[in-house]
Structure 1
Amino acid sequence: MFFGFFTCGLAVFVFPLLPSCRLRSSRRLDEVVIVIQSQRNSFHARRGGQRKVEILQEALNLGQEIPTVLLLHELSEYEGDWSIIPVLPHLSATRSQSASWFVFIEEETKVTLPALLQVLSRYQDKKEWFLGKRLHDNEASIIHHYAFSEGLSFGYPDPAAGWALSAALLQSLAEQIQHERSLKSDFTIDLTHEIALFIWEERNGLELTDVPEFCTELKDACATTFTTYLPHCGDPVSKKELFVAVKTCQKFHSERISVVKATWEKDAGSLEYYSDVTDPSIPTISLGVANTERGHCGKTFALLKRFLTPAVPQTDWLLIVDDDTLISLPRLRRLLRCYDPKEPLVLGERYGYALVHNGYSYTTGGGGIVLSRPAVSKLLSSGCGCFSDDAPDDMVLGRCFTSLRIPITNSPLFHQGRLNDYSETLMSLQEAVSFHKHWNIDPVAVYEHWLKDAVLHEEL
């Protein structure tokens, strides 16, 4: 077979030699539905819209039929659609009659339509197919519910590379959901692993088919490539615009706070430690809430109230972390430049509870929760709060923000787990913002290797 450069518009790719820019394939673009996993926050909605325009423009340049390109956040008013499973019945009812394939991509995933059609043409859409770039766990992980602890070869797709469902598979899954089949867990933690597990359970062990053309790095014949989860939106926000609240308690002062001071504390402009006792050697501040062994809702709401008082600097942003959170504040300040501080924003690693049954999303606390000042103001003025001091603070916050119709904005750069709880392949392509827990690791070494950057920009 002869190969040459395939040129359409400004893009150049290597494909089997074709006589014109119009792709000859047994698959047509108008049989493909591309779902961009967009979010409601203005920055993400804009990025999703830009990606949609780029895809449609490429189809026009090719002289091809036009694919259906959907923005996930526009499909319904239900915030839980981000977890994909709840929206499958809607996609089946409205699109499966005309579509052969459903392709799911991130906002920053680029699609090369000729290569995508070449890939999809290899598989019969009348059969059940689940395609993507395969990831797997090196060890059993809590973020995957310790699934397949004795068989770690189970594969799930890299979300950055995109993944695809044949129409036959999507329709079967939609029927399962409509019959109210329960999920293995009420919690949605790692989206693509949850989807792969759902498909495996509901379709008699159907596994992901690894497709090399679903890429995260630019290579020949890639159908998809990925840019970054940490886009450049300008200079980082100033240190003085970010206030950091660290939750701790007396029994962890020496063990955990020493790690914070040895790693990321120096990158903070304004920071306070909140404990159950006052310890001037750190120093810590007691908020008058006793330490609890489970959730820390009382402590969290007390520090939220303090954030709106003159006792702390008036900043645009509040970061809440645990005393065993490892975080890159320079990277976080780069990320925050993409967001409007005048909007109510809740940012971090998004989890979901009972999303198939109209549950709610929340920002998991260990990886860090970022709130804009308007988000804190709206929350506290709403009267929504803790049902007990030891309620899970992150879940209560999620429930409250859901009732206020303030969406949870997800960034995969925040991590509730440790570094080794995640796929090594996935981590190697990220500029992570945070990890959580010191269990069975050297936290200082993890910080130095994975989170510490050279000085990017220092503000007065």
Structure 2
Amino acid sequence: MGVANGTRVEKLPPNINQYTDSDLNLLADDHIAREMSQKVRVLIWVMTSPSSLKIKAQAIKETWGKRCNIIIYFSSKTDPTFPTVGIDVPEGRDHLTGKTMAAFRYIYENHFHEADWFMKADDDTYVIVENLRYFLSKKDKTEPIFFGHLFKVNVQQGYYSGGSGYVVSKEALHRFGTKAVNSSICRGDGGDEDVEFGLCMERLGVKTSLSLDEMGRSLFHSMHPQIHLLGNYPAWHYRYTKGIVQKGFGVSRYAVSFHYVPPDDMRTLDYYLYHIRPYGIHSTVRTCNETQSPNHL
């Protein structure tokens, strides 16, 4: 500590920008999150493409991707330097279903025993991985179930927004891997990716859920955080969403995901969540694991 113009000032350590996120977080008490990462093993796979790999996927790699137990980036081309897993499906919106089915098949065949839960995300999805594990910590991976932002159209039990991300249990992935390959149960390609995967899960007996916290607040979000804060939703969002459309404080404080997050917004959100803290205020962890059946609302 030194003196400048008669005022005592703090002496900052030199080259503060040389420190990594991990170095700075040594001052935070994150033992609960670290313990949860061992108890609730989550594999997240990201749908990306060669054109957006070094822009969108790179932002994930620098931010929330570092907190996954396992993260895999799927593209139409293998890139060992990133790395990505290349799957033999053309790029383009018409082939998103094919990419999703191929990615889950690859994960079942190569990583089934390495995780308890398996999540799909887009390369503009931001995931708060600690909150995802917290939500899943009281769920049963042996049940045929999956979670996400539930839409009520096109599929009898509803389906999840692909952009908000959806997470399947180990049993759900087992059913997919053993029953959906080379069969008519799940569409191989074409159609709307999230709808087709929802139909696939329904035919396999995998159940949907509203996926809310114990106060009925939303966890998975299909749009940018600002839209969910202010409630500036397009009309279709109300027509599609199952249950009450939440905004502002209706968004859970343990929110899991947001969609349509550009790379710089992803870095900014990560900075606000993991770096800035209000001094003297400590969050108290509350139970956030009750999931309501879609039939209850």
Normalising by the smaller structure, the TM-score range is: 0.5 to 0.7
1:440 and 1:282, CA in 2 relative to 1: closer, same or farther beyond 3 A? closer
Mapped contact 1:346–1:409 kept (Cα < 8 A): yes
Structure 2 match to 1:364: 161
Q: C-alpha offsets along residues 278-332 of structure 1, whole Å, 9 cap, x if unaligned?
A: 1122100101112123451111111111122245653211111111111111111
1:448 and 1:268, CA in 2 relative to 1: closer, same or farther beyond 3 A? same
Deviation, 1:386, is: 1.7
Q: Does 1:399 align with 2:199?
A: yes
Q: Does 1:298 align with 2:98?
A: yes
Structure 2 match to 1:449: 272
Max Rg structure: 1
Mapped contact 1:433–1:451 kept (Cα < 8 A): no
Structure 1 match to 2:133: 333
SS in 1 for 2:209: strand
| CA distance, structure 1, for counterparts of residue 73 and residue 122 of structure 2 | 10
Mapped contact 1:367–1:415 kept (Cα < 8 A): yes
Structure 1 match to 2:223: 417
Matched ranges for 1:8-157 at <5 A: none
1:318 and 1:451, CA in 2 relative to 1: closer, same or farther beyond 3 A? farther
1:308 and 1:281, CA in 2 relative to 1: closer, same or farther beyond 3 A? same
Deviation, 1:401, is: 2.2
1:364 and 1:282, CA in 2 relative to 1: closer, same or farther beyond 3 A? same
Structure 1 match to 2:255: 432
| CA distance, structure 1, for counterparts of residue 192 and residue 220 of structure 2 | 19
1:304 and 1:361, CA in 2 relative to 1: closer, same or farther beyond 3 A? same
Mapped contact 2:164–2:222 kept (Cα < 8 A): yes
Q: C-alpha offsets along residues 6-25 of structure 1, whole Å, 9 cap, x if unaligned?
A: xxxxxxxxxxxxxxxxxxxx
Q: Does 1:346 align with 2:146?
A: yes
Q: TM-score, normalised by structure 1?
A: 0.43
Mapped contact 1:415–1:435 kept (Cα < 8 A): yes
Of residues 102, 107, 111, the one that matches 1:307 is: 107
Could you say which structure has the higher strand fraction?
Answer: 1
| CA distance, structure 1, for counterparts of residue 262 and residue 130 of structure 2 | 25
Structure 2 match to 1:266: 66
| CA distance, structure 1, for counterparts of residue 142 and residue 203 of structure 2 | 20
Mapped contact 2:43–2:115 kept (Cα < 8 A): yes
1:296 and 1:354, CA in 2 relative to 1: closer, same or farther beyond 3 A? closer
1:451 and 1:345, CA in 2 relative to 1: closer, same or farther beyond 3 A? farther
1:453 and 1:341, CA in 2 relative to 1: closer, same or farther beyond 3 A? farther
| CA distance, structure 1, for counterparts of residue 273 and residue 94 of structure 2 | 29
Deviation, 1:409, is: 1.7
Structure 2 match to 1:386: 187
- Measured on the aligned residues, the alpha-carbon RMSD in Å equals 2.8
Mapped contact 1:264–1:327 kept (Cα < 8 A): yes
Structure 2 match to 1:275: 75
1:453 and 1:374, CA in 2 relative to 1: closer, same or farther beyond 3 A? farther
Structure 1 match to 2:120: 320
Q: C-alpha offsets along residues 245-272 of structure 1, whole Å, 9 cap, x if unaligned?
A: 1111001011101210221111012111
| CA distance, structure 2, for counterparts of residue 306 and residue 422 of structure 1 | 34
Deviates more, 1:298-307 or 1:236-245: 236-245
| CA distance, structure 2, for counterparts of residue 294 and residue 368 of structure 1 | 19
Mapped contact 2:151–2:161 kept (Cα < 8 A): yes
Identity of aligned residues (%): 25
Q: Does 1:373 align with 2:170?
A: yes
| CA distance, structure 1, for counterparts of residue 140 and residue 154 of structure 2 | 30
Paired letter, 1:413? L
Mapped contact 2:89–2:95 kept (Cα < 8 A): no
Mapped contact 2:42–2:117 kept (Cα < 8 A): yes
Mapped contact 2:76–2:90 kept (Cα < 8 A): yes
Unaligned runs of 5+ in 2: 1-31, 212-217, 231-247, 278-282, 284-297
| CA distance, structure 2, for counterparts of residue 325 and residue 426 of structure 1 | 21
Q: C-alpha offsets along residues 63-105 of structure 1, whole Å, 9 cap, x if unaligned?
A: xxxxxxxxxxxxxxxxxxxxxxxxxxxxxxxxxxxxxxxxxxx
| CA distance, structure 1, for counterparts of residue 199 and residue 118 of structure 2 | 19
Deviation, 1:362, is: 0.5
